[in-house]
Amino acid sequence: MSLASHVISSSLSLSKTDVQSILILLYKLVKLSKASLQYMQYDYNYNYIPPLAMTGALPLPVIKIQVPIQELPNLKWVLSVAQKITLLLVNDTLTNFPNSADSNVSYGIDADAESNSSAIDSQVEALQDMEQTIKDAETCEDLEKIALNLASITQEITEEIVSHNPSNIVSFDTQEISEFEEHLNRIDEEFELHEFHKEPGNIEFLAPFSLEDSITDLLSSAFKKIIDSDAKLLELKESKPCSMDVDFSTHESAMNPSIEDYNKLFVKIPLPQISSRFKEDLVFGYMQVAGPNPLMLEQVLQHEKPLEISNEQYQKIVGIPNDSLEAARQEGRLYKADYSKLKNMENGSFPNQQKYIYSPLALFVVPPASNPSRSLLPLAIQCQAEYPVFTPLDGENWAIAKSIVQMADSNYHELVSHLGRTHLFIEPFVIATKRRLPANHHLRILLEPHFEGTILINYGAHQLLIADRRQVDALLASTIESDRQLTVQAAQDYLHHFNDAMFPKTLTSRGVDNISQLPEYPYRDDGLLIWNAIHQWVSAYLSSYYISGQQILADQALQNWAKELISQQGGRLQNFGEDASGTIKTLDYLIDAVSTIIFTASAQHAAVNFAQGELMTYAPAFPLASYSPAPTNPDEQGDFMSMLPPIEQAKTQLKVTYLLGSVYYTQLGQYSNSYFKSKPQISSALATFQNQLKGIEKEITQRNRTRIMPYKFLLPSQIPQSINI
**Eight-state DSSP code of residue 138:** -
The per-residue pLDDT for 94 is: 86
Position 15, amino acid: S
- Cα angle 362, 366, 370; round to 5: 160
pLDDT at 104: 41
How many other β-carbons are positioned within 10 Å of the β-carbon of residue 230?
A: 26
Residue of 285, 278, 277 whose CA lies nearest to 377: 285
Q: What are the DSSP E strand ranges found in 257-414?
A: 297-299, 334-338, 361-365, 377-382, 389-390
pLDDT at residue 214, rounded to an integer: 47
pLDDT (0 to 100) of residue 196 = 55
Give the pLDDT confidence score for residue 199 in this predicted structure.
44
pTM of the predicted structure, to 2 decimals: 0.92
**For residues 320 and 367, is the Cβ–Cβ distance under 8 A?**
yes
pLDDT for position 11: 39
Amino acid 167: pLDDT? 60
H or E segment and range at residue 43: strand 43-45
C-beta separation of 690 from 668 below 8 A? no
How far is Cα of residue 194 from the mean position of the Cα atoms in its chain? 36
pLDDT at residue 247, as a whole number: 43
Backbone φ, ψ for residue 358 (5° rounding): -130, 165
Length of the chain: 725
- Grouped pLDDT means (10 residues each) for the chain, 725 residues: 40 58 79 61 95 92 83 88 91 76 41 60 92 90 90 88 68 68 83 59 38 60 84 73 43 78 96 98 99 99 91 95 95 98 98 97 98 97 97 98 99 98 98 97 97 95 87 95 98 97 98 98 99 99 96 98 98 95 96 99 99 98 98 94 97 94 96 82 96 99 98 99 96
Nearest to 184 by CA among 59, 33, 30: 30
Q: 348 by DSSP, 3-state: which?
A: coil
Instruction: Report the relative pairing of strands 54-56 and 334-338 from DSSP bridges.
Output: unpaired
| Burial zone of 513 (CB within 10 Å; 0-12 exposed, 13-18 middle, 19+ buried) | middle
Task: Look at residue 417 in the predicted model and tell me its pLDDT.
Answer: 99
Contact 49, 117 (CB under 8 A): no
**Could you give the dihedral angle defined by the CA atoms of residues 423, 425, 427 and 428, in that order, rounded to the nearest 10 degrees?**
170
Model pLDDT, residue 98: 63
Orientation angle between helical segments 281-290 and 396-412, nearest 10 degrees:
10
Q: Judge contact between 140 and 217, C-beta under 8 A.
A: no
Give the model's pLDDT for residue 193. 76
Q: What is the pLDDT of residue 694?
A: 99
Backbone angles phi, psi at 268, to 5 degrees: -110, -10
Distance CA 581, CA 9 (A): 39
Give, as one character, the DSSP assignment of residue 416.
I
CB contact set of 616 (below 8 Å; sequence gap of 6+): 292, 410, 413, 622, 653, 657, 661
Q: Which CATH number does 275-399 carry?
A: 3.10.450.60
- Give the residue ranges of DSSP H helices in 414-555: 424-436, 442-447, 454-460, 471-475, 480-495, 503-509, 522-543, 549-554
Question: Is 626 in a helix, a strand, or coil?
Answer: strand
201 Rama sector, left if φ>0, alpha if ψ -120 to 50, beta otherwise: left
For CATH 3.10.450.60, the residue range(s) in the chain are 275-399
Residue 99: its pLDDT value, please? 60
Residue 427 CA to chain centroid, in angstroms?
16
